[in-house]
Amino acid sequence: MAAELELHGVNLHFGGVTVLNNVGFTVSAGQIFGLVGPNGAGKTSLFNCISGHYRPQSGTITIDGENVAQVPPARMAAHGLARTFQHPALQLQRSVLENVMLGAHSRMSGNPLTWALRGPGARKSEAAVRAEALTILDRNDLAWAAERSAGELSHGLHKSVELCRALMMHPKLLLLDEPAAGLPHSEVEALIATVKRLRAHEDVTVVIVEHHMGLIGALTDAVVVLDHGSKLMEGTAAEAQADPRVIEAYIGKADDSAA
């Protein structure tokens, strides 16, 4: 079942620096939700709070009503969470297939190397995981890359492999941090098709951080705009793009970087 995500009054500081200021919003089960805002707005930090990598000083983060704000990252898979990272972290020496299989580690103990050394039960589940990883790679047009080492692939393909690895976790809530960054136009179209297929065939709630407004407009039911750690507005992607406060936030940022 797709999960509902609810945030209330989330505050995050590093030393004297306020990174998130009283952030709250609700993502309904099954929605595709956008989190947008200029560089440094706090989008990745908010994902890190949801995934347990950062602990907010105050506020609640609930997944299907359970407060997960202080749950460590390794335990978040049990709450149905999977995520991808703005800067993908793959095992570059290992094959693409093994990287995707690692997504199942929340469901199995050990890793692809130790699975091979265990008894028949482990070998059977390893075979099932391998078959599923191949199916997921195939659905994402990556079957050809299964036996390549991850280090051979382009940055854009690393993002796709990370998405496949996240899908191996059977998430109820999937967080994607800038999945389109660095992708050529044709691959952005393919990514949009992939996320639409997720909506049609998998029971999952998706939150996407993205600067690519074409992708946000094509995919999301609703968006929240963050600026300097605070929620600026909430509405549809079209409403956000037309909102003078949002335009000002982006122009202000452009002025900052020009200065």
The residues of the shown chain that bind ligand ATP, judged by CB under 6 A, are 14, 17, 19, 37, 39-45, 86
Smallest separation (angstroms) from ligand ATP to the CB of 163: 18
CB of 119 to Mg ion, least distance (A): 43
Cβ count near 23 (within 10 Å): 25
22 burial type by CB count under 10 A (0-12 exposed, 13-18 middle, 19+ buried): middle
Closer Cβ to ligand ATP, 37 or 103, answer by number? 37
Q: Which is closer to ligand ATP, CB of 44 or CB of 140?
A: 44
CB of 65 to Mg ion, least distance (A): 28
The residues pairing with 14 across neighbouring beta strands, listed in sequence order, are 17
Q: Which residues contact Mg ion (rule: CB under 5 A)?
A: 43-44, 86
Going by the DSSP 8-state scheme, the letter that residue 251 receives in this structure is H
Q: In the numeric block, which tokens belong to residue 200?
A: 């049609």
The DSSP code sequence of 187-202 is HHHHHHHHHHHHHHHS
CA atoms within 13 A on the CB side of 204: 27
CB of 17 to ligand ATP, least distance (A): 6
Closer CB to ligand ATP, 122 or 250, in the complex:
250
User: Which of 70/109 has CB closer to ligand ATP?
Assistant: 70
DSSP state of 184: -
